[in-house]
A and B are shown apart, each in its own frame.
Chain A
Amino acid sequence: MSKGESNGLIVGIDLGTTNSLISVVDSGFPIVLADHEGRRLLPSVVTFLPGGEVSRIQIDVGQVSDLPVAASSGGQSSIQFGLLRESETCPTGGVLVGEPAIRSQALYPKSTISSIKRVMGRRYSELTAEEIAELPFSVSEAADGSLLVDLGQIGQKSPEEVSAAILAQLKVTAEEALECSVDRVVITVPAYFGHRQREATRRAAEMAGWQVERILNEPTAAALAYGLNQSDDVQRVAVYDLGGGTFDLSILELRDGVFEVIATAGDTRLGGDDIDLALSNWLLLEMGLKVENLSRDQRTKVLAAARRAKESLSTLEKTSIELPFFDGASSFSVEVTREKLESIAQPFLERTRVISKKAFLEAEHKGLNRVQSSTVQGTIDQLILVGGSTRMPLVQRRLEEWFGIKPNLTQHPDEAIAIGAGIQAGIMCGRVRQVVLLDVVPLSLGIETIGGLMNVIIPRNTTIPCKAGELFTNGVSNQASMAVRVLQGEREMARDNWRLGEITVPFSPGPKGSARVGVQFEIDENGMLTVLSRDTHTGTDHLLKIESAAVDVNDDAVEQMVTESIEHAFEDMNNRILTETRMKSDELLPAVETALQLVGDQLPIDGREKIEAAAARVKALSQLANPPLEQLKAANAELDENTQNLAAILVEMAMDRALNPPT
């Protein structure tokens, strides 16, 4: 490939859970780049092909020219997979990305990976049993506690390696479209991504041969895409970003070319994927099948069918889901209405409401001394929707109800983030002028103090870049150093937060309490943390390395046994699930009794009977010495489901009472 000079060009990438895009500012306008077939959305799906099978695949799939296969032995595609090709764990096989990967899913179900973003930068021990079961691929724990994706006979890959394949593919798209080499990039992540998730994203990009100029928050990017063409002097906007796997809400102020993020809140494990899963579970129930009797491949099929149905229900009132020869013999056809989908999606949207409320409240708190008390309606001028999941009519309806403002739909929900990333890239390489962006830290940073408490040094929603310090002294005479744990998160107890690692604060020799070492935490424009120590006696500065937590795994185990409640100490997942399930039964049964006494008369007769029957089943099962886990779980779920109505009545009654107190 002949290459032109890149002239310091920087491009922007939206690395999404479902789709990824790449964009650039050209003659003052941000554009999303298309691949040689004109496609702008690259599905975030990767297939790793077993070694030596490259040519067979091409025949099998029958579209040889279509496949961007990188055969590591071939050498002609060396740009495509950069460092990944040389990685030790990469077998001698090819990689497919995007549409070709989706098409080869049936052939290689085990080594076709989607939604990898869900596990970027996560440690194996952080995942709950439920989360692991819901992932569309299998995972296992690496020796250092990190997480690996299992690809069947091909072996294992880190999430970074899987992401790197997507990022490498985008590089090819960009270089072909721009006819020059590009290696500098602005890459977006959910605002609520923590330090480790950002680091993992950066590593993935570096594996793919990118030089990362900025890690940018997705909703902030969307606000840039929106705000660049606005002529109003001052605007407050909220960006509601519900993607495939993550949710963020950010509140920004746009004034005189300064884009300032005021507050952000989110959940990195909440998105359209959850709705797909819930819909596919309902589907299986309708089909009379049990999820645990299905192969992963079959589950993937149902999930894909559920997703297609969800998407078409954005425009249609009902659709039917066809699964021909599903288990080899029987075919299924299930009708699903928009109303049904909406009742399934509602609890997830409710979670976004709570998170949004938090962000608005924080914005209000932050401005408490500036803007006198304000309501949501009065605080923002625009509510911008991004992320494919905001296409659901229900989302738009609920948002209008909750926030009393009509959502602004002018942004392309799939492209706004990529466009914003392109604009930030344009700002940084001088192609966009008179605009600067100031973001915030999404999660508090702090250290562990005596008693295992988290001491916040930099509170969340502090404008970045920022710095803050803490003074340390020696506890015993001639102490050489002190180890300090660096934490990220909002929980009071240190152990409930993410442990970023440890720093070792050096002391100069002297009697107890004589040392004075200032430790400065700095967060740069990328939201990345560095820690410096300064000995105030000697005036020397040290850059403290944050040692990755892999070292203190043993330490962890001991602490858990001593301090944590019993359900976390179980090694065996099944035991853990059983305990959790029993606890839920023990909670539900008395709650049902109380609730029925309070508002049971407001239920229709058959509703009440249903609840009582479901409660009886839970009761019977939970009284057994060794209850069959799956049955108890199912009974709990049924009771939970049947009492949603009852719960809603109770909450409504509580709100009513609050507004109109009984006299």
Chain B
Amino acid sequence: MDNLFKMLHLPHSLTVSAGEIDDAWRSLSQKYHPDVNASVNGDQLADLNKARETLLKPVGRLGEWLRLKCDDPPSRNAALSEDLMLLFASVGDALRQADAVIEAMKKAQSALAKSLLAPQVITSQMAIQTQLGKIMAQNNRIEAAFPQFEGAAENSDFQAARAALGELKFLDKWQRECQHRLLELIAAE
């Protein structure tokens, strides 16, 4: 696999900002767009798109950084912090509640039957939004520690970074689930 930082002509650093990633992608995509450059096909551009998408997410950036820094495979059973265990439980509740409401809305055929469900739809939307906010806060908390991981890496210490990667992966998954439910709740309106 190619080095995603290098692909975007970026330094191999965890602290590269979203703006820097976007700018790098934009100038390269103008050069490698098959519409304006007859000597390329869409392949390079597809790689650039993938690199940008991956690095913009903290989980992707940390994953790629770790992959390049140390060869050890990521540990499978990293323990979750207590914060995340609690979050996991509340996310699960909100998702189940949303599923039940979505199911009922899908069954309803008339505007009247749907309107009777409106209070539940709104409550459920707010519950999911709350969870998304919590997930976001955890994401930010972990991302704030990225400079420390850079420091520790100089002493070949990757323990904290790896634990963080495990947590970010969970957060990423929950975030996607919540976003998915939120869209379904809106579509059901």
Seen from chain A, the residues whose Cβ lies within 8 Å of a Cβ on chain B are 255-258, 260, 354, 357-358, 361-362, 365, 368-370, 373, 424, 427-428, 433-434, 436-438, 462-468, 522, 524-525, 580, 583-584, 587-588, 591-592, 594-595, 598, 640, 643-644, 646-651, 653-655, 657-658
Contacts and interface: CB of A to CB of B under 8 A. Distances in A.
Contact of B42 (A465, A654, A658): A465
Contacts of B46: 464-467, 522
Contact of B183 (A260, A361, A369, A524): A361
18 contacts: A257-B30, A354-B187, A358-B183, A361-B186, A369-B139, A436-B33, A438-B49, A464-B49, A525-B35, A588-B110, A591-B113, A640-B110, A644-B111, A648-B115, A650-B116, A653-B118, A654-B115, A654-B119
B26 to A, nearest CB: 5
A489 to B, nearest CB: 13
Contacts of A428: 35
Given A525-B35, A643-B112, A255 B26 contact: yes
B7 interface: no
A543 B27 CA distance: 32
Given A595-B115, A651-B118, A584 B110 contact: yes
Contact of B49 (A466, A588, A646, A648): A466
B114 A647 contact: yes
Interface residues of B, number: 45
A361 B45 CA distance: 26
Interface string B37-70: 0000011011001101100111000000000000
Nearest to B109: A584
A573 B114 CA distance: 26
Contacts of A465: 34, 42-43, 45-46, 49
Contacts of A594: 116
Contacts of A358: 183, 186-187
A646 B112 contact: yes
B122 to A, nearest CB: 5
B119 A369 contact: no
Contacts of B157: none
A594 B116 CA distance: 8
Interface string B8-25: 000000000010001000
Given A369-B58, A465-B45, A583-B109, A438 B34 contact: no
Count chain A CB atoms within 10 A of each CB in B42, B109, B111, B187 and give the residue with the most: B111
B136 interface: yes
Contacts of B118: 650-651, 653-655
Interface string B167-189: 00000000100010011001101
A370 B111 contact: no
Given A436-B33, A466-B50, A588 B189 contact: no
B115 A647 contact: yes
Count chain B CB atoms within 10 A of each CB in A370, A433, A649, A655 and give the residue with the most: A370
Contacts of B136: 368, 373
Given A258-B29, A591-B110, A595-B115, A369 B186 contact: no
B179 A437 contact: no
B145 interface: no
B111 A438 contact: no
Interface string B125-139: 010000000001001
A427 B122 contact: no
Given A354-B189, A358-B187, A658 B126 contact: yes
Majority SS of interface residues in chain A?
A: helix
Contacts of B27: 256
A366 B114 CA distance: 29
Nearest to B57: A369
B35 A427 contact: yes
A464 B53 CA distance: 12
B42 A361 contact: no
Contacts of B86: none
A587 B110 contact: yes
A517 B25 CA distance: 31
Count chain A CB atoms within 10 A of each CB in B26, B36, B52, B112 and give the residue with the most: B112
A370 B110 CA distance: 40
B129 to A, nearest CB: 10
A25 to B, nearest CB: 14
A646 B116 CA distance: 10
A657 B119 contact: yes
A437 B139 CA distance: 31
A640 B114 CA distance: 12
Contacts of B57: 369
Contact of B115 (A427, A522, A525, A646): A646
A37 B148 CA distance: 72
A427 B30 CA distance: 12
B123 interface: yes
B53 A370 contact: no
B100 interface: no
A185 B111 CA distance: 44
B113 A587 contact: yes
Contacts of B53: 462-463
A384 to B, nearest CB: 22
Contacts of B30: 256-258, 434, 436
Contacts of A591: 110, 112-113, 116
B108 interface: yes
A362 B110 contact: no
A356 B45 CA distance: 29
A368 B53 CA distance: 12
A117 to B, nearest CB: 24
A462 B42 CA distance: 15
A496 B126 CA distance: 28
A467 B50 contact: yes
B179 A365 contact: yes
A650 B49 CA distance: 45
Contacts of A373: 136
Given A522-B46, A654-B119, 5 more contacts: A365-B179, A424-B35, A438-B33, A647-B111, A648-B115
A519 to B, nearest CB: 16
Nearest to B49: A463
B103 to A, nearest CB: 11
